[in-house]
A and B are shown apart, each in its own frame.
Chain A
Amino acid sequence: MRNPWLWALLVAGLTACNAEQSTLHVFGAEARAVRQMALVLTIGAVLIVAIMVALYVRAVRAPEGRLSHDGGMRMVLWLGAIGPTLILTALLIYALPAMRPRATAPGDLTIRVEGEQFWWRVAYDPASDLSPLSSANEVRIPVGRTVIFELTARDVIHSFWIPGLAGKMDMIPGRTNRLVVQAEKAGRYRGVCAEFCGLSHALMAFDVVAMDGADFDAWMARSRAASTGVTASRGARLFDAHGCGGCHAIRGTPHDADIGPDLSRFGERPTLGAGILPPTPANVAAFIRFPQDAKPGARMPAYPQISVADARAIADYLKGLK
């Protein structure tokens, strides 16, 4: 294979292997509608190009005198002005209904997500009388139910995008945008920040877990309770001593700050640092000492004074929180 274009095409094809974060690998009704539309548009565009090429070939090959100027002008009028106008009008009518948000009912689950340099603050059912359930860097949604995302930000504009679920929606400080979705297939997926927001913008992702309704309800009920794994271990004492609780909350302890990600269920998180690293104890310990090594510009202070062993003890403690 000496043709570089063929290689480029093959490499581009590899992106299709990604099933977690892809507009082509859909798991939600909204993304399905968008994919369907993209398919129709692509086929239509290819057809139009093919017709145009056929007309060019015909015009070039036509023997002298076979084509009249008047005929050419009529063709320009119909294929150049009237035809495209009709096609665009039809496409507009075809596409507009997809912009209507899904209808919601009072009982639908609301999840509030705030983008922040460079992580996500998540609150389930924020208006509920039950103790509100907060989390970070991971969004869980029940399959087959309507979910309302309330999206906002505190610092700069971010954009909330779960490619397999729905289109993206901006998170704007001082404003709450609504994104209504419905997942169709359980599984683990990935979302990203889709609006440049600072140094680690490209390292601002999150995990998405679509669960069956019953599993989700059980998870919600379990998560409203105190974290399991809260102990009086050395790691817990170090966590207190270094003032981590000034920014991080852990349910079942006095720490309830919300300046940094909620760590109540850190042991369940599939990734570390907003979707960027596997949450191995070693990675967590390294992140605690030098967050900026993993994420330039991260808003958590570095703790070079914490020894590797102590950081590891804290990491083990945090990994035990479920």
Chain B
Amino acid sequence: MTDRGKWHERLKVTLWTLIVPPAIWAGHFLMAYLWAAISCAKVGAFATFPTLFVVGTIIALTLIALSGWIAWKQTHRPGDSAPHQDSTDIDRLRFLAKSTLLLAGLSFVGVIFTALPVVFLRNCL
């Protein structure tokens, strides 16, 4: 394996990286509300095609997918077979990685469900 193929393995999943996907989801949620509030206050209507909002959504989805992918790679570290439930470093890593992966999946769907109404609805009232 080359060095380039291993960078995601050097990036260790921790309790901090675990909250990255939901934090991005929360940030996107806030952006959706701010974007709607500002558009309605300043323009009086949603933009016909909310470019800025769509770009923000794509960035959020990409970041979540990236952290999900890193976590997925780390759950698949070669080693002993399941169950991974001892208080060893490698088992803790696998647990955190799996949790991050699941949270990333949830956050990905959450961001899409938040974005769809903004893209579909046009009126401020």
Residues of A within 8 A of B (CB): 81, 85, 88-89, 92-93, 96-97, 99-101, 177-178
Contacts and interface: CB of A to CB of B under 8 A. Distances in A.
B116 A93 contact: yes
Interface stretch (B49-57, B63-71, B72-80, B117-125): B117-125
Contact of B122 (A93, A100, A177, A178): A100
A92 B117 CA distance: 8
B119 to A, nearest CB: 9
Interface size class of B (residues with CB under 8 A): 10 to 19
B112 interface: yes
A99 B121 contact: yes
Contacts of B125: 101, 177-178
Interface string B78-109: 00000000000000000000000000010001
Given A89-B112, A99-B117, A100-B121, 12 more contacts: A89-B109, A89-B113, A89-B116, A92-B113, A93-B116, A96-B116, A96-B117, A100-B122, A100-B123, A101-B123, A101-B125, A178-B125
A93 B105 CA distance: 19
Nearest to B120: A96
Nearest to B123: A101
A278 B122 CA distance: 43
Main secondary structure of the interface of B (DSSP, over half): helix
A81 B106 CA distance: 10
A89 B108 CA distance: 12
Contacts of A97: 120
A92 B121 contact: no
Interface of B: 105, 109, 112-113, 116-117, 120-123, 125
Contacts of A92: 113, 116
A100 B113 contact: no
Contacts of B113: 88-89, 92
B89 to A, nearest CB: 27
Nearest to A95: B120
Contacts of A96: 116-117, 120-121
A81 to B, nearest CB: 8
Contacts of B123: 100-101
27 contacts: A81-B105, A85-B109, A88-B113, A89-B109, A89-B112, A89-B113, A89-B116, A92-B113, A92-B116, A93-B116, A93-B120, A96-B116, A96-B117, A96-B120, A96-B121, A97-B120, A99-B117, A99-B120, A99-B121, A100-B120, A100-B121, A100-B122, A100-B123, A101-B123, A101-B125, A177-B125, A178-B125
A100 B119 CA distance: 11
A92 B122 CA distance: 16
B109, B120, B122 — most chain A CB neighbours (10 Å): B120
Nearest to B108: A85
A202 B108 CA distance: 44
Nearest 9 CB-CB pairings of A with B: A96-B120, A92-B116, A85-B109, A178-B125, A101-B123, A100-B122, A96-B117, A99-B121, A97-B120
Nearest to A82: B105
Nearest to A98: B120
A89 B125 CA distance: 24
Contacts of A88: 113
Contacts of A101: 123, 125
Contacts of A100: 120-123
A81 B101 CA distance: 14
A158 B113 CA distance: 30
A93 B113 CA distance: 9
A96 B113 CA distance: 11
A174 B117 CA distance: 27
A99 B122 CA distance: 10
A16 to B, nearest CB: 33
A120 to B, nearest CB: 21
A162 to B, nearest CB: 19
Nearest to B125: A178
A212 to B, nearest CB: 29
